[in-house]
Amino acid sequence: MIEWLLIVVDIVSWILLIIGSICVLIGGIGVLRMPDFYSRIHAASLTDTMATLALFSGMILQAGFSLAAAKLFAIMLFLLLTGPTATYALANSALLSGHKPKAAVLEKKVE
Amino acid sequence: MTIVFAIFLLTMLVITAVAIVQSSNLFVSVMLTSIFSLLMSTNFFVLDAADVALTEAAVGAGITTVIFLSALALTATQEKPNRSGRGIALIVVGLTASLIIYATFDKPRLGDPDAPVHQHVAPYYLDNTMEQMGFPNVVTAVLSSYRGYDTLGEVFVVFAACIGVLFILDARTGTGPKYVTRKMTGLRHHLIPQVVGRILVPFIVLFGLYVQFHGEYGPGGGFQAGAIIATAFILYSLLEGEQAALRAVPRSAQLGLVICGALMFGMVGVLCMIMGGEFLDYSVLMENPVTARQIGIIVIEAGVGMAVCGAMLSIFHAFAARSAEDTDEAV
Amino acid sequence: MIFAGVSCAILVTMVLAIARAIKGPTVYDRLLAVNMFGTKTALLLAVIAFLFGRADFLDLALAYALINLVGVLAVLEFFQNRIDANGDASGD
């Protein structure tokens, strides 16, 4: 029974880790390939939230009930708190200093 | 595995370094420098030097960027074009680089147990730390006890650097009208950073204290803890504005921290002499030499932490006061 | 071995982030890349701690998770001050 449970936990954590890695990769490619700054932010924030959540959940499952799991949970919590805040700060400082999204520039040209 | 990581990280490091030199926009250079620091820290970590990696993390992630940006606020953002003397510089750099590359041919393989560095005093430290100090982190033992003189010197270097920066920036203590007329309100009208930052500040201080007092058992110690706690106060000052931060930790307290920290370290040494031992030989402080050494190390690590924290805070505030003064003059 | 794969994915993303940081074109793109690089470093350190089997070294990732925000907020304040200073100058 216990062995069976361990295998299930292992499989779930592997799936989470793979999802996390894929999200990290998608985010990285998106940051390089997206057309302008505001769309790149979306790609970057994917790695801040989804990838962090999946990777750390996977690692916590691997760590089991230990001090390492508690530390991983704390790291995940703080990364999930600070990541979106940093994204907000970035977008805000870009907008404040007059950096317009590409779509807005296009609309102005049409007008 | 280590080699693969190291090669990968060092390649990125070289690319980043070239980009830093190439860029003429200083703001871009500051940003790339912070990537450089992150890479360096990861590299130290991969090479198993967790204490050094933590130092690089504590200083590079927050404080360096903040201080670079404060300095940038006082100067122009574009580098002045300088075309003269490039040939000589190229020759000097080329010669030095080829000399260094030539010297690496004699270098022992990475992790070679027969390397000279592993033959001299390192085996003594590794064999005796647990027995003489009673804790497992050899780095802390070397830093604060075996090579206590060096660390004392480092603390006084930090002290001197702090005083030097304060003199250059002409920051005086006291609350003259100059320093009260700061208009900056920090990020008070940005609700999200405000809320998240307020949550973070106590946790950063808590983590700093953990690094300070857990340094004997895990990576960490006074230097790292001082930098981390200073980061917490800098975050507070970014959120609430300069004045609120100065109300919380006034200038005199910052300088007091530096002086008390450096003095505390020195006084422990003098106390050892009074008790009949040698300078910084903690074993005479109590009857049990192991406990005595542990107490001595805790006290001097606290001194180091206070000195570093105070120095970083006073440098940060000196820059901030200076930029406020300049904007006032400009307006 | 899964951790080796995960760390490879993170390393590749770090390379892509450096490419964006060097390419620009605006300052904000570089800033975004730097910020992303910081969070990816925290992830990488946690994964490496697992890969090398040294879970007690997670402190370093924790340090990055806590401190990384400070740099970005400093940049936000830097821009805000510059705008304030310029706005004041033009207003007067």
Residue B60 confidence (pLDDT): 86
Rounded alpha-carbon distances, angstroms, from residue C48 to A76, B42, B200, C2, C39: 15, 9, 25, 11, 14
Name chain B contacts of A92, Cβ cutoff 8 Å: 190
Span B31-56, average pLDDT: 90
Residue C11 confidence (pLDDT): 92
Of the pLDDT bands very low, low, confident and very high (cuts 50, 70, 90), residue A108 is low
Nearest by CB to residue B330, choosing from C64, C80, C85, is C85
Model pLDDT for residues C7-51, shown as the tens digit of each residue: 999 999 999 999 998 887 888 888 899 899 999 999 999 998 888
* Domain edges within chain A: 2-110
ipTM rounded to 2 decimals: 0.89
The residue type of A75 is I
CA distance B14 to B97: 14
CA distance C73 to C56: 29
C13 touches chain B (CB under 8 A): no
Residue C89 confidence (pLDDT): 34
C62 touches chain B (CB under 8 A): yes
Cβ atoms A61, A14 nearer than 8 A:
no
Model pLDDT for residues B255-288, shown as the tens digit of each residue: 999 999 999 998 998 988 888 888 888 888 888 8
- pLDDT reading at B182 higher than 50: no
- pLDDT reading at B331 higher than 50: no
CA distance B140 to A87: 37
CA distance B144 to B268: 12
Model pLDDT for residues B123-157, shown as the tens digit of each residue: 888 888 888 888 888 888 888 888 888 999 999 99
- pLDDT reading at B29 higher than 50: yes
Residue B122 confidence (pLDDT): 82
CA distance B23 to B17: 10
What share of chain B has pLDDT > 70, as a percent? 92
Residue B326 confidence (pLDDT): 55
Residue B219 confidence (pLDDT): 82
C66 touches chain B (CB under 8 A): yes
- CA A12 to chain C, closest CA, distance in angstroms equals 13
Which residues of chain C from 28 to 67 reach within 8 Å of chain A, CB to CB? Answer: 28-29, 31-33, 35-36, 39-40, 42-43, 46-47, 50, 55-56, 58-59, 61-62, 65-66
A68 touches chain B (CB under 8 A): no
Cβ atoms B234, C70 nearer than 8 A:
yes
* Domain edges within chain B: 1-78, 85-126, 137-331
CB contact under 8 A, B193 and A81: no
CA distance B239 to B245: 9
CA distance B241 to B253: 18
Nearest by CB to residue C16, choosing from A21, A31, A52, is A31
Nearest CA in chain C to B215: C59
CB contact under 8 A, A21 and C9: yes
What share of chain C has pLDDT > 70, as a percent? 90
What share of chain B has pLDDT > 90, as a percent? 28
Which of the other chains make 3 or more beta carbon contacts under 8 angstroms with chain C? A, B
Alpha helices (H) along chain B:
2-22, 26-46, 50-58, 65-74, 86-104, 122-133, 138-141, 148-168, 177-180, 191-213, 222-240, 242-248, 251-274, 289-330
Count residue pairs from B and C with Cβ separation < 8 A.
150
